[in-house]
Amino acid sequence: GFFVNIATTVTRHNLKEIPEMITLCEDLGVDWFMMYNFVPTGRGRFIEENDLSPREREDLLRMLWERMKTSKLNLLSTAPQFARVALEAEGASCSVVPTHFSNTELPGQLRSLADFIGGCGAGRFYIALEPNGDMTPCVFLPKKVGNILEESPERLWAELDDFRRLRDRGSLQGGCGSCDYRFVCGGCRARAYGYFGDFTLPDPGCIRNEDEYAKLTRIQGAPQAV
C-alpha cells in the first residue's frame, strides 16, 4: 500500500487539538504524524502572534515524546528541541534520538552518532531550490546563497561560507552556542533567521532561550520578526 504521512504546523490556534489529531492518525492507520515547527517566513510573517511560547512548545514536545512510547505511529517533529526533550526525559537509557526525518535508534556507543545526524538540517542535509535556480539553505530560510544555473552545485555545497557556518555548531551564538545539546539540537536556524535576520543567533522558541523570546515580546505579548 501507500506510505501515508499526515503533517500539520502547530500554532496557538490548533495546539489543543494535537492529541486528538494523533489519535485520529492512529485510528486511520497512517504511517507518520509530522508536527511542523512554526517559522516566521513567507505568509507566516503576518501571523507571528500565533507562534507558540517556549513553554507551550516544551510541553507539546514532552507530550509528543510520551505518546511516541506507546503509539503505533511514528511521531516526528521538525523542532530540533525534540531530541533534547527525549534525552532529558530518558537520560542514559535513551536509545532513540529524534530527528526531523526519523526517530533513529542509536543504542550504546552508536548514540554518539546523534551529534552528526541530529539537529537542524539546513545546509547540512539538504538545500532548497527556487524555480530560477536560486539556492537557499532551507525552504523556510529565504537567504540566497548562490544559483545553480550560474555556478557549480557541487562547489556551492562544498565551499560556501554560509553552509560551513551552518555545519559548524561552534558558530552558534548565545544560548544555542553554549547549550550542552547544541550538537543533537542546535535550535532551528530558520527561526533564528526569521526573527533576528541572522541564522547563527539563538532560536527564541526554546525553553532555554526564554530571555530571547522576552526580548521579542511587544505590548501585545507576541514576538515580532525582523
- pLDDT at residue 96, rounded to an integer: 58
pLDDT score recorded for residue 220? 45
pLDDT of residue 89: 86
Question: Which pLDDT score, from 0 to 100, does residue 212 have?
Answer: 93
In a domain, 131, yes or no: yes
In a domain, 60, yes or no: yes
Q: Say if residues 99 and 79 touch (Cβ distance below 8 Å).
A: no
Please state the separation of Cα 64 from the chain's center in Å. 14
Q: Which range of residues forms the domain containing residue 123? A: 5-216
Strand pairing report for 32-36 and 5-9 = parallel
Backbone angles phi and psi of 134, in degrees to 5: -60, 140
Kindly state whether residue 187 falls inside one of the protein's structural domains.
yes
Q: Is residue 72 part of a domain?
A: yes
Segments of the chain with pLDDT less than 50: 106, 109-111, 113, 219-220
With vertex at residue 52, the alpha carbon angle to CA 90 and CA 176, rounded to the nearest 5 degrees, is: 60
Evaluate whether residue 104 is within a structural domain. yes
- Residue 164 belongs to a domain: yes
Q: For position 219, what pLDDT does the model report?
A: 39
Strands, E assignment, the chain: 5-9, 32-36, 74-77, 96-98, 103-105, 128-129, 134-136, 146-147
How many domains does the chain divide into?
1
**How far, in Å, CA of 224 to CA of 47, rounded?**
9
Residue 223 is assigned to a structural domain of this protein: no
| Residue at 226 is within a domain | no
pTM for this model (two decimals): 0.88
